[in-house]
Structure 1
Amino acid sequence: MAIRPRRSSAREARMPLSGHLVELRKRLYLAALFIVLGAVVGWFASDYLLALLRDPIYAVAETQDRVATINYNSITSAFDLKLQIAFTVGIVISSPFWLYQIWAFFVPGLTKKEKKYTLGFMFSAIPLFFLGSAAGWYVYPHIVALMTSFAPSEDTSIIEAKTYFDFVLKLVIVVGVAFVLPVFLVLFNFAGLISAQSILKSWRIAILMITLFTAIATPAADVLSMFLLAIPMIMLFFLAAGIAWLHDKRVEKKIDSVNPDEASALPPTEPLSA
């Protein structure tokens, strides 16, 4: 008899679909507002960022003794590029605010354990993404210098501005995402989908994949940039394996601490919280 009222009240407490849509619209409006405000800041900072982007091109002109410059191939190209930089900056600097809006929309439907895992994922993935993005930003001048060096010295390097910015942006994002991948290994381990032993067994494959990725992300002849990207990613992989190993050990201790009848009653694939 005591169960029925709880089920009835839980059913009544559920938000209808229209309520979810209203809440989603509110969160999207707030996220868009923060991005636009960040884009305003990015608009005023775009000239400074463009100057930073030009530095590797100027370095090419000096070190390779050639004419190297950024080119705008249409009337609106400069405006379009400045707008693109502004919104890119807006998305980055407003990320704590629009990420919170996403969190605030989903958190009412999460259990305590799910909230714990989600917060742990966010507080580890976001710094690692920015760390990886910083690594990508660090190596891109080396890549620009190497790739332009294949042109004969008597030729002119006229680089289309938007193509150049897209190249740098994609490189920074891809390296940033690559740095987050070890967090998914830990997340899958905590969810009971993969063991630390399985992660450690695949270390050769992981190193091979990391090496291939960094070889693609950086020019083949730029060994220094390749190692600058590969070494932190390999360290993050083994760090993720170490965290997963510690988690598995704690799960084993919890299983050993219960009596045999209770342990046999547990589903074999059900992960135990740390």
Structure 2
Amino acid sequence: MSVVEHIQEFRRRLLISLAGILVGTILAFIWYQTSLWGTPSLGQILREPYCSLPPEARASFSASETDDCRLLATGPFDPFMLRLKVSGLVGLVLASPVWLSQIWGFITPGLMKNERRWTFIFVSIAVLLFVAGAVLAYFVVAFGLDFLLTIGDEASMAALTGERYFNFLLSLLLIFGVSFEVPLIIIMLNVVGILQYEAIKDKRRMIIMILFVFAAFMTPGQDPFSMLVLALSLTLLVEIAIQFCRINDKRRDRQRPEWLDADDLSASPLDDAPGGTGAPQPVEPPAPVDVDRGDNRTSTRFTHGGSAFDDVL
């Protein structure tokens, strides 16, 4: 394909991806306050960690005695903009099969068969890890809010706005999802031969300390529970990645020929195995030598292995 054809192909796939995201956003906008196919509304699902807190930890804006779980809006456009923002992010997730398939279709023609297989495997694992991290963060939010909102409840009561709450929730989901990609990066570096098991096997203490520091700085609420869950989860996943590096390096060493490890300036050892280049060969028995002397010349006839050679001096 020419450059123009590549640009046209890219534009076509980009438009398809944007159309899929637009449809997903519209669907999420409707789902925000409407139950679809028997599932709770999107707003109810996202408010569940906040609503699971005890009533005394939440400010009530209703005069009724029923348990009221609502977030505060301080501006006339806040509810609409918040709904649009959440719908856009959820629509991006709902349309992920569409834009991921378009990205895959655009890069596949330039890959070899083996590269396509590895790329598909890594992309699938990346999606699963991101979803696993986001789901874990969803269940962690309630514990983090419980710590943050009840730490000073004797003197004050928290009244969260929708913007602050959803920013906290979506930031935690994003941080957990992206952080769960760290083990996959380690595995990818090992597969391409950049990172070896020998280089990281003795550095576990340093890696664990870096993960805890990373979790302390990256968790948006700075609560100890979220930090601890993120750090322990990353430690477990990184250890799994290190064990993969160990197994992969062993498999690679078994398949690696010895002559690849030889110095560039030295000769590689010969293969002494039966049938190899340096294997010993059977020596044929000696044959008699006939010498004929004539006038001013000597003719020597050598016989070796059934072949005759004449040397005339």
Q: Is TM more than 0.5 here? A: yes
Residue equivalent to 1:114: 115
Tell me if structure 2 keeps the 8 A contact 1:142–1:222.
Answer: no
In 2: Cα distance, 1:129 partner to 1:205 partner: 25
Residue equivalent to 1:272: none
Residue equivalent to 1:62: 55
Shift of the 88–81 alpha-carbon distance from structure 1 to 2, 3 Å rule, reads: same
Residue equivalent to 2:247: 246
Residue equivalent to 2:277: none
Q: Residues 162-181 of structure 1, C-alpha deviation per residue, up to 9 Å, x if partnerless?
A: 22211111110111111111
Q: CA deviation at 1:236?
A: 1.0
1:44 paired residue among 16, 21, 30: 30
Q: Residues 176-198 of structure 1, C-alpha deviation per residue, up to 9 Å, x if partnerless?
A: 11111100101001111110122
In 1: Cα distance, 2:90 partner to 2:157 partner: 31
Tell me if structure 2 keeps the 8 A contact 1:60–1:145.
Answer: yes
Residue equivalent to 2:66: none
Q: Residues 110-146 of structure 1, C-alpha deviation per residue, up to 9 Å, x if partnerless?
A: 2233323311211211101100111111101111121
Residue ranges of structure 1 left out of the alignment (5+ in a row) = 1-14, 267-274
Residue equivalent to 1:93: 94
- Structure with the greater alpha carbon radius of gyration: 2
> Are 1:209 and 2:210 matched, yes or no?
yes
Tell me if structure 1 keeps the 8 A contact 2:58–2:158.
Answer: no
Partner SS for 1:192: coil
Q: Which is richer in helix?
A: 1
In 2: Cα distance, 1:52 partner to 1:75 partner: 24
In 2: Cα distance, 1:57 partner to 1:171 partner: 14
Larger mean Cα displacement after TM superposition, 207-216 or 30-39: 207-216
In 2: Cα distance, 1:259 partner to 1:66 partner: 71
Q: For 1:1-274, what aligned pairs fall within 5 Å after superposition?
A: 15-47=1-33, 48-60=41-53, 62-64=55-57, 67=60, 69-216=70-217, 217=219, 222-223=224-225, 225-255=226-256, 258=257, 260=259
In 1: Cα distance, 2:83 partner to 2:222 partner: 32
In 2: Cα distance, 1:220 partner to 1:29 partner: 40
Residue equivalent to 1:3: none
Q: RMSD between aligned alpha carbons?
A: 2.4
Shift of the 104–239 alpha-carbon distance from structure 1 to 2, 3 Å rule, reads: same
Q: TM-score, normalised by structure 1?
A: 0.81
Shift of the 62–229 alpha-carbon distance from structure 1 to 2, 3 Å rule, reads: same
Partner SS for 1:162: helix
Shift of the 92–265 alpha-carbon distance from structure 1 to 2, 3 Å rule, reads: farther
Q: CA deviation at 1:32?
A: 0.8
Amino acid of the structure 2 residue aligned with 1:149: T
Tell me if structure 2 keeps the 8 A contact 1:66–1:154.
Answer: no
Q: CA deviation at 1:63?
A: 4.3
Tell me if structure 2 keeps the 8 A contact 1:71–1:159.
Answer: yes
Q: How many residues align?
A: 248
Amino acid of the structure 1 residue aligned with 2:12: K
Partner SS for 1:194: coil
User: Equivalent pairs: percent with the same residue?
Assistant: 25
Tell me if structure 1 keeps the 8 A contact 2:58–2:159.
Answer: no
Larger mean Cα displacement after TM superposition, 158-167 or 30-39: 158-167
- RCO higher in 1 or 2 (8 Å CA, sep ≥ 6)? 1
Tell me if structure 2 keeps the 8 A contact 1:117–1:187.
Answer: no
